[in-house]
Amino acid sequence: DDRKLNWLKKAGKEEEFVPVSGALVCLDNREGYEGWVRAMVGGRSYAQSAFNRAADAVRQPGSAFKPFVYLTAFEHGRTPDDIVHDGPINIRGWKPSDFEGKYKGDITITEAFADSSNVVAAQLTDELGPKQVAATARRLGITSPLDEVASLALGTSGVTPLELTGA
């Protein structure tokens, strides 16, 4: 419908307009319906493409993977009030950093989670072992193959939106 295209065209000149695609997954959390799909959009037009981006597109989840890291840490004795260091690190030659390139020093795990600290998530994954983090993700519903490496903490292994939302 032309109204839908008009708001997309406002972002730039009409000749620069490039159609985009995306996916949406909404699951139910009501008692008795937990995990049921309430809404799922897998693309713009089934007539143009039958590929379901919500169920079949494998993408790196990025920071959306970090809850698996923190859950694994809590299950292995860490607490939200534990102090961790948000600063430059080197994990066998890998030097993760945050998007802004700024560090906060000693902070609680709660603060690290709220700030989405890449450094702390990577440290915890290294401390716990990537296999443990991957096992937590699998237990909660991730079925895509996961590379059991430190960078798993930053969502470097591809998953589908449907399985990530479900997990």
Which pLDDT score is estimated for 46? 86
- Mean residue pLDDT of the chain comes to 90
pTM (two decimals): 0.84
Q: Which residues contact 5 (CB under 8 A, 6 or more apart)?
A: 17
Phi, psi of 49, deg, nearest 5? -160, 125
pLDDT digits (tens, 9 = 90+) for 125-164: 999 999 999 999 999 999 999 999 999 999 999 999 999 9
Question: pLDDT exceeding 90 applies to what percent of the chain?
Answer: 79
Residue type, 32: G
pLDDT at residue 70 above 60? yes
> What average pLDDT does the segment 96-118 reach?
93
Residue whose token pair is 């597109």: 57
Q: Which two tokens stand for residue 67?
A: 């809850």
pLDDT digits (tens, 9 = 90+) for 36-63: 999 999 988 888 889 999 999 999 999 9
Q: Which two tokens stand for residue 152?
A: 């798993």
More confident residue, 6 or 142: 142
Question: pLDDT exceeding 70 applies to what percent of the chain?
Answer: 89
Residue whose token pair is 């983090």: 133
